[in-house]
Amino acid sequence: MSAAASLPDETGAAAAEAPLLSVRDLTLHIPVPPHVLRAVDGVSFDLRRGETLGLVGESGSGKTLTALMLMRLLEPPLAALPRGEVRLDGADLMTLDEKRMSALRGRTISMVFQEPMTSLNPVMTVGRQIAEPLVRHLGLSSREAAARAEEMLRLVHIPDPARVARAYPHLLSGGMRQRAMIAIALACRPAVLVADEPTTALDVTVQAQILELLAELQREMGSAILLITHDLAVIAETAHRVAVMYAGRIVEEAPVAALFAAPRHPYTRGLLASIPKIERVPAPTLPEIPGMVPGAGDRPRGCAFMPRCARAVSGCAAEPPPLAETDRGHRVACWNPAHG
C-alpha cells in the first residue's frame, strides 16, 4: 500500500470550521550588522480543532523558531523582534503582556520540546512537574494535583505511575521521559499542542508508540496539534495537512494525501524523491537536491530555492513568490510549479 493511500483524511466539516489558531505573516528578522538574518520570513497557516498540521523541513528552516514565537518563549533581545499575528480563539498572542500570556501558556496552548532531558527539571520529581501547571492554572490543591499527575502518567501508558511520579527524570528511559513531557503538556487539556520533534533520538518502536499516543490523546481531548518534524514518514502516518518550510518560508501546504500524490514545489518533490523505496531491488542511487540551503543572512532577493532549482525561470530572481492556491486546499510558493 502506498504511503498516501493510508493517510488520515481531513473531513469536510473540519475544513469548513473556523481556525482555532490562525498565524499570519509571522516574521523574525535578526539584525547582525552588516546583515539581517531572515530566520523566519512571513509564515502563515491555520490550525483547526482536532486537526494535526505537520510542519516539515530540514534543520535550519525555521521550524523550531516558529514554535517558540507561537509560545512567546524567545529570550531577550530576540523576544522583542517577532512581527505578525498569532490569533488563538480570537486573541492575538503577539500583543499580550507576559502576565496574560503566562496564563495561557500551559493552559490553552502547550508545547512538547525536542529533548526532554534538557527540558525537564532534574531536581524535581516527575509528579511534581506534572502537578505544577495543575496548581497554577486550575487551582487544584497539592493533594488533588498529585492524584491528577498519577492519572496523567497512567493516561500516557507509563507502568506503575505512582512510582514514576516519585522518580527524578534521570531515572527514566528516553521513551518514558518523552511520555512524561507529554503528560506535563497535556495536564491542563490545552486546546493547542505544539510538538517539536517529539520522537527525536527515540528508536523506531518507541517512536511509533509516542505518535500513536499523541493521536489517541488527541481523539480523547480534541486538541489541535502542530507537529514539527524533519521526517516525512512521521507526517505521512499522523498528520491531516502538511506545510513544507524552506529557508524561513512555507513553500507548500496541502492535505497530506494530496501532497504525497502530487507535490507542486520543486523542493517538496526533491524531498519526496529522496525517500528510499524498499520495494525496489536492487536499491537505486537516491537523487539529491544539488547545492546548499542559503544562510539566514545570505538569501537571494527572489526565491530562496532558485539557485538549486531545475525549474527556475527568469522571474524567480526578482522577488519571492507568494503562497498561492493552485487546487482546493493546496497552496504553493513557486513561479513555475509542477503539475500532476
Q: CA 301, 303, 304 angle in degrees (round to 5)?
A: 85
Write out pLDDT tens, residues 156-197. Answer: 999 999 999 999 999 999 889 989 999 999 999 999 999 999
- Give the three-state DSSP class for 177: helix
Given a contact cutoff of 8 angstroms between Cβ atoms, the answer to whether 96 and 179 are in contact is no
4-259 falls under which CATH superfamily? P-loop containing nucleotide triphosphate hydrolases (3.40.50.300)
- Give the three-state DSSP class for 211: helix
**pLDDT over 50 (residue 284):** yes
- Residue identified by cell 503528560 is 183
Phi, psi for residue 49 in degrees, rounded to 5: -60, 135
Which pTM was predicted? 0.89
Mean residue pLDDT across the chain: 89
Q: What is the DSSP letter of 301?
A: S
**pLDDT over 50 (residue 83):** yes
Give the three cell numbers for residue 242.
502538511
Half-sphere exposure of 96 (CA within 13 A, CB side): 20
What string of DSSP letters covers 265-288? SHHHHHHHHTS--TTSSSPPPPP-
Write out pLDDT tens, residues 316-332. Answer: 999 999 999 988 889 99
Given a contact cutoff of 8 angstroms between Cβ atoms, the answer to whether 288 and 336 are in contact is no
Write out pLDDT tens, residues 104-132. Answer: 999 999 999 887 778 899 999 999 999 99
The domain locations on the chain are: 4-259
